[in-house]
Amino acid sequence: HADKPDSRLKSTKLLQKYGDIAEFSLIPPWQQEAILAAIEQAVRAAQLPLKGEAIEFLAEAIGNDTRRLEQELQKISLWLGDSQTPPTVAELGQLVTSSAHNSLQLGQAIREGNTSRALALLQELLLNNEPGIRIVATLTGQFRTWLQVRVMQEAGEKDDKVIAQFAELGNPKRVYFLKKEVQSLQARQLFQGLEILLQLEVSLKRGAEEVATMQTALVKLCQLLAKP
């Protein structure tokens, strides 16, 4: 497999010893809790003084890209040198180029029906060579989670633990924020949004022109969610 890490490399052996690389690369981009746990494990293995917000930033910035995580941790390690002072999120932001983070921001812009911001974020992602299909995967994951939370709300479910279980969220505390995010939307809108994203994925896989196809889909999504 072309993406397999070279096991002769010392750093790869270290990472394989402390955290199973193979499993990490298979985590779907929308399973934020699993990605967070894997990044925490890799940070501990690399003996870096990163905690809480810094780990969350890395999870959003890197997503499930194993190779990229290894590169970014090496970069942070070099930058820190012998210092054991944890870097701030702002400092990490200058060191680590954020792609998945911007895909998540793109999802938020679409949810707000903010077409101009959504198109600007898409352009930024594509300029950073983020593959269109990966952007769509992140958006699909966001929409799926929003839909699951909204469906449960519309069914009258009040227990966040039950909602978290239904939406396959490891952390029930996230439900509070997700409910706020979807409070002005209806499940049918989110369902239609998922359909647009699935059609977009099919078009891209069939070789449609990436930029124009994605822009058209984003405009449709923003118009759909801007309606009450």
Find the domain containing 181 and state its range.
Answer: 100-226
Looking at the fold, whether 115 and 192 belong to one and the same domain comes out as yes
155/21: higher pLDDT: 155
Q: Which of 118, 130, 125 is nearest to 225 (CA)?
A: 118
Residue 164 has a CB neighbour count (10 Å cut-off) of: 21
Residue 192: give its domain's CATH number: 1.20.272.10
CA angle, 224 as apex, 134 and 136 as ends, to 5°?
5
User: pLDDT category, 70, cuts 50, 70, 90?
Assistant: confident
pLDDT, tens digit (0-9, with 9 covering 90-100), for 132-166: 998 998 899 889 999 999 999 999 989 999 998 89
pLDDT at 58 over 60: yes
Average pLDDT over residues 15-19: 50
- Block residue for tokens 């003996």: 47
pLDDT, tens digit (0-9, with 9 covering 90-100), for 174-224: 888 889 999 999 999 999 999 999 999 999 999 999 999 999 999 999 999
Looking at the fold, whether 26 and 132 belong to one and the same domain comes out as no
pLDDT at 65 over 80: no
Looking at the fold, whether 117 and 218 belong to one and the same domain comes out as yes
Structural domain contains residue 2: no
Kindly report the pTM of this predicted structure: 0.64
Structural domain contains residue 1: no
Looking at the fold, whether 131 and 193 belong to one and the same domain comes out as yes
